[in-house]
Structure 1
Amino acid sequence: MSGGGSESARTTYVLVDGENIDATLGASVFGRRPNPEERPRWERLLTYAEAQWGQPVSGLFFLAVKDELPMSFVQALISIGYRPVPLRGGPAEKVVDIAIQRTLEALRDRDDDVVLVSNDGDFIPQMEQLVGTRRVGQMAFQEFRNAGFRALEARGLEFLDLEYDVNAFKTRLPRIRVLAIEEFDPADFL
């Protein structure tokens, strides 16, 4: 582990790229914009990370804001335990990606763990620098995450599927994935 802090002082930072998860649901899972009830129950990500890693969590939810702050969404995030990080930038800037990359870089100097909630390969260089120095995880969709993350698993990256491991959705998603024969249940297809 990095640094010299005590284990009890460790925190797991859960960094959420909500736009990426929403875009994946829309483009790859549903083929349309997901309805509110089809989106993740964001509080379940925090609960899962805290229970599985056995230490306090701090959720940072990054969102791009054009003109007005979406107050109802921001208030909902705060009420379930996230610290919203609203960002604005130029029209071509990927402000959420830039902010998450900077946050991952800043975590190198801290004695904390991290879970990235995104399928986006733009974060691989920063995640690569953290893997092996602390506990590092990725919550995403197995079949839609950037292939570069798979190489990091051999070095210690923990992958957590949002639906199957974290149970972040109220209902089963219409995903097509390769099943291990032990997981196959004919009732799921009948």
Structure 2
Amino acid sequence: MSEGAVAERAERRTFVLVDGENIDATLGNSVLGRRPHPEERPRWERVTAFVEQQWGHPVTGLFFLNASNGQLPASFVQALLAMSYRPVPLSGRPDEKVVDVGIQRTLQALRERPEADVVLCSHDADFVADLGALLGGERRLGVIGFDEFMSAQLRMDGVEVLDLEHDVRAFNTELPRTRIIPLDEFDPTFFLR
């Protein structure tokens, strides 16, 4: 590898943008059918570790929070900081989707950083236009969530779709999900337990 290629690789960084509201709502409403218990929530440090290991360069985790009520969940913010995430607490009017707008603005700002790869943790189609604007060039793009709840619009050519449970292995417990199994991955012994 040439010195230029080594220097370019060293400068690359992946930004993991977490739409915590969307992931939490999908987990609670669609997967569990109730509010998740603490042990059923994703281990967010596994997401950044997975991306760093798979994509081969440093990761910055940005976790977007709705702080419109004027409160910060102090223990959760401390946990995010301990996992090397940067909490992004946003506030706005009741009719504003502050987390979505914050992520959209961040995706727009990343257009000016062609050396930055991007992973979005969300199922939300609200990000399609801004994520699509990042396609092309050398940039690597991904979306992490629950595969069966991922907006079809996020499944663009050039965007890797990764399952939060099965690919990233972000959970300590097996979730009660029914998912489509590619025949190459089918293990009948799982169903014979």
TM-score by length of 1: 0.93
Q: CA deviation at 1:53?
A: 0.5
With 63-72 and 51-60 compared, the bigger mean Cα shift is at 63-72
CA deviation map 1:61-110 (0-9, x unaligned): 00001121111100000001100000111001100000000000000001
Structure-2 separation of matches of 1:72 and 1:170: 20
Equivalent residue for 1:164, pick from 156, 163, 166: 166
Asked if residue 93 in structure 1 is aligned to residue 96 in structure 2, the reply is yes
Alignment of 1:12-23 (within 5 A): 12-23=14-25
Structure-2 separation of matches of 1:9 and 1:121: 30
Letter in 2 for 1:159: V
Q: CA deviation at 1:140?
A: 1.0
Structure-1 separation of matches of 2:170 and 2:141: 19
Asked if residue 119 in structure 1 is aligned to residue 127 in structure 2, the reply is no
Q: CA deviation at 1:187?
A: 2.6
Letter in 1 for 2:150: R
CA deviation map 1:124-168 (0-9, x unaligned): 000101122311111111100111012x1x2x1111110111000
Structure-2 separation of matches of 1:75 and 1:17: 18
**Root-mean-square deviation (Å):** 1.1
Report the equivalent of 1:175.
177
Report the equivalent of 2:35.
33
Structure 1 portions without partners, runs of 5+: none
TM-score by length of 2: 0.92
Structure 2 portions without partners, runs of 5+: 1-6
Alignment of 1:1-190 (within 5 A): 6-65=8-67, 66-110=69-113, 111-133=115-137, 134-150=139-155, 152=156, 154=157, 156-190=158-192
% identical equivalent positions: 60
